[in-house]
Amino acid sequence: MKFLKGIILIVVAVFVYNWAKTPTVSQQINNQLVTLTTDLKTWSEKIPFLVDSKTETHSDSQSSTSTDNSGLESIVINKKLSNTYTYYFDNNVPSETRQIFLQAIAVYNQTGIVKLTAEKQNESKNTLRLGIYNKTASDANNMQELGIGGPKIYSQYGLIRSDYNHGKATLNTAYPARLSAAIHEIGHALGLDHTQNKDSVMYPVDQGKTTLSAQDVANLKKIYQ
Ligand SMILES: [Zn+2]
């Protein structure tokens, strides 16, 4: 019996060895691994992710509310945001205001740091919503509120960590739409905070600035490069 067991063992060993060495078998294993990897990828795209969101908006009643000096909205700091955005208008935005928003968008696109387009460009989930509202009441300091804007950051925790922004920029129709205000609110939507520099489009009181300062450009770079 011992002899027979020995023979069987040798036969099995040789069989396993040959099986593993056969190119078609290893090819099959390889193919199965590829399929498995593809399945895993498809599956990982389908499983629900844990998504956090944080919003930071400024209702710009033209008074200083800045709390730090970074020039960045705190919720965008240390986030990995794509620099591409798909923008869209709310249905009720009049064409004149759309033109002003489009001019403001051009100002940001000219930097080459961000790319804002009406068409979806790639896998980026970043969106920029452009809208209007009407608020005639002045605040306690008799300041005019020209707009509201800010980022809304989603952090997706799955197999791959990713962050994206659904920013919002809106103008108050109680006052004539201003390019400087549109640039300021889009700045908030992209993650810029108020600065104390009057050359900056992010100075809290409207200075009619329609070009980005060197500091504004540097702050954009901090978020997107
Ligand atoms: Zn502001």
- 118-137: pLDDT as tens digits: 998 888 999 999 999 998 87
Q: Is the pLDDT of residue 63 over 50?
A: no
Q: Pairing mode, if any, of strands 127-133 and 152-157?
A: unpaired
Instruction: Specify the higher pLDDT residue, 11 or 148.
Output: 148
pTM, full prediction: 0.73
Higher pLDDT among residues 157 and 22, named by residue = 157
Greater confidence (40 vs 94) lies with 94
Question: Which of these, 175, 191, 186, lies nearest to 209 by C-alpha position?
Answer: 186
State the average pLDDT for the chain. Answer: 83
Which pLDDT belongs to residue 223?
95
In degrees, rounded to 5, the angle at the alpha carbon of residue 130 between the alpha carbons of residues 127 and 131 is: 140
* 131 CA distance to ligand 1 middle (Å): 16
Name the band, by pLDDT with cuts 50, 70 and 90, for residue 28. Answer: confident
Task: Report pLDDT for 67.
Answer: 52
Ligand 1 center from residue 174 Cα (angstroms): 17
CA of 56 to the centre of ligand 1 (A): 11
Q: How far is the CA of 196 from the centre of ligand 1 (A)?
A: 11
Over range 9-34, report the average pLDDT: 67
C-alpha 135/C-alpha 149 separation (Å) is: 15
Ligand 1 centroid – CA 184 distance (Å) = 6
Instruction: Read off φ and ψ for residue 141, nearest 5 degrees.
Output: -90, 10
CA of residue 58 to ligand 1 center, whole Å: 5
DSSP symbols for 30-75 = HHHHHHHHHHHHHHHHHSPPEEEEEE--EEE-SS-----SSSB-GG
Torsion of CA 177, 178, 183, 186, to 10 degrees: -20
